[in-house]
Amino acid sequence: MYTKIIRLDPLNFSIDQLQEAVDLIKRDEIVAFPTETVYGLGGSAFSETAVRKIFKAKGRPSDNPMIVHISDLEMLSSIVKTIPEKIRKLCERFWPGPLTILFDKSDKIPDIVTAGLSTVAVRMPSQPLALALIKTLGIPIAAPSANLSSRPSPTQAKHVFDDLQGKIPLIIDGGSCDVGVESTVIDVHKGFSVILRPGGVNLEKLREYLPEIEMYREKNIDKLDEYSPQSPGLKYKHYSPKAEIVLIEGSIKFFEEKIVSLYSEYRLQRIIIGIIHTHKNIQISSEILDDPNCKIIYLGSLDSKTDSDNSINADKIAEGLFSTLRAVDNQKIDLVIVEGISDKKIGLAVMNRLRRAASKIIKE
């Protein structure tokens, strides 16, 4: 299959430029498209044929539910049983945007979309191309991330092409994704409020509207058989490059110490070692810096006003996370040592992805 790429400016495009994608989806084909979080691989949420094609292209397990994307609340009403007032207010506050909410699904949504669950995960993207595509199509789009399962999510059209070339007919290239990590997924309809997956809307923001909301693991809800998994991204290992990841959680000094000890341990294996740091200024010995088999990668903001500014920009780290993990593979790195960040605000989503990708976690 030939994979065509259409490059569009999300701030300057015409609806006619989306017509090819619309026609494909109406024929039960699938299309990759940009959202504000990551690129999605979408097909009609009403078509079992299209959804099966998504599973096949990604190599995605069929018991992993998908998110359904809508363009307005009228479309939401057509695919869920009810919209409680509490949830409607959340929709009005956070949509369009990177928040996915669980609802009791209507019979219009095939069971294959929800992996047989009675609930459906729904969100309204804010990316102009995604929103216009759904609105023009006139039906909701079922779409997981547009990557091979277990690989880092795609935040650029090139990432989609690298993974899915020859497997899908069309990629809409709308540039890099602004948020860089997937949407936050919440469930507020079963007598409690819980974040199933942290993402683009942080816990602190949600607590302004839902003071009682907690993280999934903190509530121990995963111990309930009927509750696992209710959300995309809970059951399987995700977000991993081919390289082994060793995640270091602690102070800058602790990270620097672990670089030395881990480098001494792993260099004897004659492998390519990567070091990803999130603070701009860290102490790395000349021996490591001069080693051609050691690659240093800075994941953070390059716009610090002075070299003495060693703060981190969690939003920039989130935006560049998946691109950096893909760069690890491009540089043929075998093992990468990663500096963790605080799990406050969007840092919670970043650390969630790194912990799920890591083979080993070392804490101070």
Cα separation of 126 and 129, whole Å? Answer: 9
SS3 of residue 119 by DSSP: strand
- What 3-state DSSP class applies to 325? helix
Nearest to 273 by CA among 339, 353, 328, 327: 328
- pLDDT 10s digit of each residue in the chain, 364 long? 999 999 999 999 999 999 999 999 999 999 999 999 999 999 999 999 999 999 999 998 888 899 999 999 999 999 999 999 989 999 999 999 999 999 999 999 999 999 999 999 999 999 999 999 999 999 999 999 999 987 899 999 999 999 999 999 999 999 999 999 999 999 997 778 999 999 999 999 999 999 999 987 644 444 444 445 456 655 555 677 889 999 999 999 999 999 999 999 998 898 999 999 999 889 999 999 999 999 999 998 655 444 445 678 899 999 999 999 999 999 999 999 999 999 999 999 999 999 999 999 999 9
Q: How many degrees, rounded to 5, is the angle at CA 97 between CA 161 and CA 315?
A: 75
- Number of other residues whose CB lies within 10 A of the CB of residue 56: 12
3-state class (DSSP) for residue 225? helix
Cα–Cα distance for residue pair 45/134, rounded to 1 Å = 11
Task: State the pLDDT at residue 169.
Answer: 98
Domain boundaries, the chain: 4-227, 244-363
Number of H helices, E strands in the chain: 11, 16
Task: Find out whether 123 and 98 touch, Cβ atoms under 8 Å.
Answer: yes
CATH class of 244-363: alpha beta
114 is in an annotated binding site: no
Give the pLDDT score at 60: 85
Cα dist. 149→41, 70, 145, 203, 324 in Å? 12, 23, 9, 26, 18
183 a known binding residue? Answer: yes
Q: Is 119 annotated as a binding residue?
A: yes
* DSSP states along 159-214: HHHHHHTTT-SEEEE----SS-SPPEEEE-SSSS-EEEE--SS-HHHHHTT-TT-E
C-alpha span between 243 and 214 (Å, rounded): 32
Of the chain, the end-to-end C-alpha distance in Å amounts to: 50
Closest to 184 measured CA to CA, from 67, 301, 33: 67
Looking up tokens 């090139």 gives 158
- The response to whether 150 counts as a known ligand-binding position is no
In CATH, what is the architecture of 4-227?
Answer: Alpha-Beta Complex (3.90)
Is-contact 241 150, C-beta < 8 A? Answer: no
Residue 37 in marked binding region: yes
Q: CA-to-CA distance for 272 and 190, rounded, in angstroms? A: 48
Domains 4-227 and 244-363 share a fold: no
- From the list 253, 24, 60, 221, the residue with the least C-alpha distance to 141 is 24
Largest Cα–Cα distance in the chain?
63
CA distance 312 to 65: 34
State both tokens at 122: 């729904």
What is the rounded CA–CA span in Å between residue 343 and residue 221?
20
Contacts of 74 (CB under 8 A, 6+ apart): none
Beta bridge partners of residue 273, listed in sequence order: 294, 335
* Rounded CA separation 351/243 (Å): 18
The structure's pTM equals 0.92
In whole angstroms, give the CA distance from residue 61 to residue 3: 23
DSSP conformation letters of 241-304: -SSEEEEEES-HHHHHHHHHHHHHHHGGGT--EEEEESSS-----HHHHT-TTEEEEE-S-S--
User: How many other CB atoms are found less than 10 A from the CB of residue 352?
Assistant: 22
pLDDT the model gives residue 301: 65
239 is in an annotated binding site: yes
Question: Which pLDDT score is estimated for 236?
Answer: 54
- Check whether 197 is labelled as a binding-site residue: yes
